[in-house]
A and B are shown apart, each in its own frame.
Chain A
Amino acid sequence: MRMPSSTSTALDWTASAVFRFLLAASILFLILPVLVSVVLSFDDRQFLGPFPPKQFSLRWYRSFLDNPAYLDGLIVSLKLAVLSTVISTVAGACAAYVISSGRWRGRDTVETLFLSPKFVPTVVIGFSILGFASAIQVFDPFTRLIMGHVVITIPFTVRATLASLVGIRRSLVEAAISLGAPPWRAFLDVTLPLARTGIVAGALMAFVLSFDEVAVSLFLSDAFTQTLPIALVAEMRANLNLTVAAVSTVFAAVTILIVFFLDRAIGLDRVIGQGLYRG
């Protein structure tokens, strides 16, 4: 065995130092802003002062609860997210089941169609649906919002379900059918329970995506039906106060709960494997 030369050792040392530095930088880069905004949300000052705050209070949380624009937005966002998640999860999971069931004529085209909204910029989706809705005389903002949010969430429910169906052995379904179960029965009793994790992961992703969407909602909402993100963006652009920091902190807390739930229910390794963001 050849002994490594001293230049090699030096290079090795440098490489591992660079690696550690980048790793630390990237973790800090991702976490630090969230921490700063959490701390600022408890700031007692009335204005936006330099970091860190000296005194703490819950005034920004109260000001969030006192502002009807936020609460109305929250209600619209929740209704919108629940409805579009249900629609896109049912339609997406059913389609994914058919797409994954062997090779059939036109399968690739159909799969591309179902995954394609992911690659269409969301402004294009919002803009085109706005034009289309007025062409077919749909002027109700909530209906338009549902139309847009279903489109942007479908690829995620399809992909997550597809990923979980890959692991299911076809022999199980064939066994059920050979024992006399009609196809719909095999689908309900065998495939659906086995694909559950993927469907849940996809639905969760769809919900979060819809709840946080800005571009599509900006085109399709009007002055009276605003989602929470739209209200927040308007507030951020108008005046910088810390109410939004309070909302962000609540979002961060909910996110941590979601991650814990996912780890318990599915396992984080498998969530990564559900291909939520693979192209």
Chain B
Amino acid sequence: MRQPRLSAFQCALLAPGAILLAVLLVAPIALMAVESFRPFVGGRVGAGAGWTLRNYTELIEPAYAFYFYDTFRIGFIVSAIALLLATPLAWQAARTKRRAVRVSIFGLLIGLLFMSLVARLYAIQMTWGTNGPLAFFGTLIGVPARSAGYAAIQVAIGLLHFVVPMSAIILIGTFQNISPRLEEAAASLGAPRWRVALTVTLPLAAPGLLSAFMIAFAMCISNFVVPLILGRGVVLFTTNLMYVRFSDVANFPSGAAIGVIMFALAGLVIYFMTQLVRWVSPEAQS
């Protein structure tokens, strides 16, 4: 099947955005990839001459690999909890018969999406931090708010506040696409509600749940500002490491190598996400 070409008018409409992205996204990342193979010369801005793999090999050393491990570990746990908190919200919004309930949940979720994350993180520090009214939570789970380990808890709370509204909005779409008739049919055949949820709703919602999880995970591991504000300097994500390499030691090539790896990882996560969703629901491809 031959596909038509674009008219001159369409090309003209496409051009501004395409040029902007070519110049401001593709070219800079290509340049960064080149720089990442340059040797680091201390005391000067930019990279030295010649080629090296050293910027990559040093990241395999345990001291650096640990940052990657920490980023992934916290990101994974947060995404799982986010799913747990977002599902009831989304379900209630998608299935309630009362308009006021639906609009309130929508308003809350959209409001959080639009509200400054910096302001929200500050609010979390005030609420869950050492002096905050919810600081007792740390003692409750055995990590007192004054201990060093609490930084990771705070970062997790901040990330949750960031990804729960997004996951919920994705899941609202998922649940709205599942016909309530199927559940009613199962219930009218005598299945109790927990069984309907487990055997009818869950399998139908699985692709949506999976993609919500993967998007939350991608959002977590690429986040910069949450560990910056709530990490107390104890919890650093790879994103923060990249900034430190650049701002404190002015090691541009090393920062570039971390950037290339993060770019590749983001691509991998997206690739796996599409593959996984395709595998779970082969018919949902169209």
The verdict on A26 contacting B229 (CB below 8 Å), with A40-B126, A147-B24 known, is no
Bitwise, A80-118 to B at CB < 8 A (1) or not (0) is 000000010011101101110111110100100110110
The size of the chain B interface, using a CB distance under 8 A, is: 99
Bound-complex Cα distance A215 to B219 (A): 14
Chain A residues near B117 (CB-CB < 8 A):
212, 214
Given known A-B contacts A26-B86, A31-B108, A128 and B170 have beta carbons under 8 A apart: no
Binds A, one of B48-56, B60-68, B140-148, B159-167: B159-167
The CA-CA distance from A116 to B24 in the complex, in Å, is: 12
Point out the residues of chain A lying under 8 angstroms from B35, CB to CB. 131
Interface size class of A (residues with CB under 8 A): 35 or more
Contact partner of B18 among A15, A95, A208, A258, CB < 8 A? A95
Q: Are A279 and B215 closer than 8 Å at their CB atoms? A: yes
Given contacts A30-B165, A251-B116, A268-B107, contact A121 B190 (CB under 8 A): no
- How many Å lie between the Cα of A233 and that of B166 in the bound state? 23
Any B CB within 8 A of the CB of A237 = yes
Q: Assuming A22-B85, A131-B35, is B13 touching A233 (CB within 8 A)?
A: no
- Using A2-B190, A36-B133 as known contacts, say yes or no to A116 and B252 having CB atoms under 8 A apart: no
**B112 CB within 8 Å of chain A:** yes
User: Does A124 have its Cβ within 8 Å of any Cβ on chain B?
Assistant: yes
| A131 touching B123, Cβ below 8 Å | no
User: Which of B26-34, B178-186, B278-286 sits within the interface?
Assistant: B26-34
Is the C-beta of A172 less than 8 angstroms from some C-beta in chain B? Answer: no
Interface check A252, CB cutoff 8 A? yes
What is the CA–CA distance of A154 and B20 in the complex, to the nearest angstrom? 10
B14 contacts A by Cβ under 8 Å: yes
Q: Mark B86-118, 1 if CB is under 8 A from A, else 0.
A: 111101100000000011001111111111111
Per CB-CB distance, the 10 closest pairs between chain A and chain B, nearest first, are A121-B222, A37-B123, A132-B28, A248-B119, A128-B28, A91-B17, A33-B123, A95-B17, A26-B85, A8-B192
Knowing that A103-B4, A127-B256, A277-B169 touch, tell me 4 more A-B residue pairs with CB under 8 angstroms.
A8-B194, A29-B85, A104-B6, A248-B120
